[in-house]
Amino acid sequence: MTVEIVYTLTESIVAGGPDGLVPWRLDTKGNLVVAGVEKEVATTAKIIFAADELRFRIETGLKMSDFNVDPPVAKTLDGAVQLAYDEVTITLEGTATTVTTP
């Protein structure tokens, strides 16, 4: 089964700064749509400046059942059906660079 996931950023606040020891932190709010169900989520993005690029990583947990997605089931050795984990973690990583034109 394929499930479409769409995230739209609605608010961001710089919450950490460069002290040389920790990455920048960006607290965000946005709308997450999973399988047609929309929920507002809050996340924290870690931002690292390296050479001429910016790297970011966002990680957030959610429950599949909150988006009307049935969690997978597994059979035990004795044949009983058991609900697998409902919680999943979504991770988004990316890199941004500056492009200049001559």
Any domain includes 70: yes
**Can you tell me the distance from the alpha carbon of 76 to that of 64, in angstroms, rounded to the nearest whole number?**
21
Say if residue 1's pLDDT is above 60: yes
**Can you tell me the distance from the alpha carbon of 56 to that of 94, in angstroms, rounded to the nearest whole number?**
5
Say if residue 37's pLDDT is above 90: yes
CATH number at residue 51: 2.40.128.110
Any domain includes 102: no
Say if residue 4's pLDDT is above 70: yes
Say if residue 21's pLDDT is above 70: no
Per the structure, how many domains does the chain have? 1
pTM of the predicted model as reported, rounded to 2 decimal places: 0.65
The full DSSP string for the chain is ----EEEEEEEEEE-----SSS-EEEEEEEEEEETTEEEEEEEEEEEEEETTEEEEEEEEEEEGGGGT-PPPEEE-TTS-EEE---EEEEEEEEEEE-----
